[in-house]
Homo-oligomer: A and B are copies of this chain.
Amino acid sequence: MEALNNHLQNFPHFSPVLFEQLAPCLSVKHLEEGEYFLREGKVCKQIGFIETGIVRLYYLNDGKETTKCFCKENSFTCSFQSMLTQQESDVAIQAIEPTKLIVLSYDSLQKLYAKDLFWQQVGRMVAEAEYMISDSHQRFLRDLSATERYVQILENDEELLQRVPLNYLATYLQVAPETLSRIRKKITRT
A residues touching B (Cβ–Cβ < 8 Å)? Answer: 12-13, 61, 80-81, 84-85, 90, 113-114, 116-118, 120-121, 123-124, 127-128, 130-132, 134-135, 138-139, 142
Q: Are A81 and B132 neighbours in the complex by a CB distance under 8 Å?
A: yes
When distances are taken between beta carbons in the complex, the residues of chain B under 8 Å from A138 are: 134, 138
Q: Are B142 and A84 neighbours in the complex by a CB distance under 8 Å?
A: no
Min CB–CB distance A60 → chain B (angstroms): 10
18 contacts between A and B (CB under 8 A): A12-B114, A13-B117, A61-B142, A81-B132, A84-B128, A90-B139, A113-B121, A117-B117, A117-B121, A120-B121, A121-B123, A123-B124, A123-B128, A130-B131, A134-B134, A134-B135, A134-B138, A138-B138
Q: Are A117 and B114 neighbours in the complex by a CB distance under 8 Å?
A: no
CB-based closest 6 A-B pairs: A117-B117, A127-B127, A120-B121, A124-B124, A123-B124, A120-B120
When distances are taken between beta carbons in the complex, the residues of chain B under 8 Å from A132 are: 81, 84-85
The chain B residue sitting closest to A118, CB to CB, is B117
When distances are taken between beta carbons in the complex, the residues of chain B under 8 Å from A117 are: 13, 116-118, 120-121
* Cα distance, A142 to B64, chains bound together (Å): 13
When distances are taken between beta carbons in the complex, the residues of chain B under 8 Å from A12 are: 114
* Cα distance, A132 to B117, chains bound together (Å): 22
* Cα distance, A114 to B124, chains bound together (Å): 13
Min CB–CB distance A103 → chain B (angstroms): 20
Min CB–CB distance A115 → chain B (angstroms): 11
The chain B residue sitting closest to A123, CB to CB, is B124
When distances are taken between beta carbons in the complex, the residues of chain B under 8 Å from A135 are: 80-81, 134
Q: Are A124 and B131 neighbours in the complex by a CB distance under 8 Å?
A: no
* Cα distance, A128 to B120, chains bound together (Å): 12
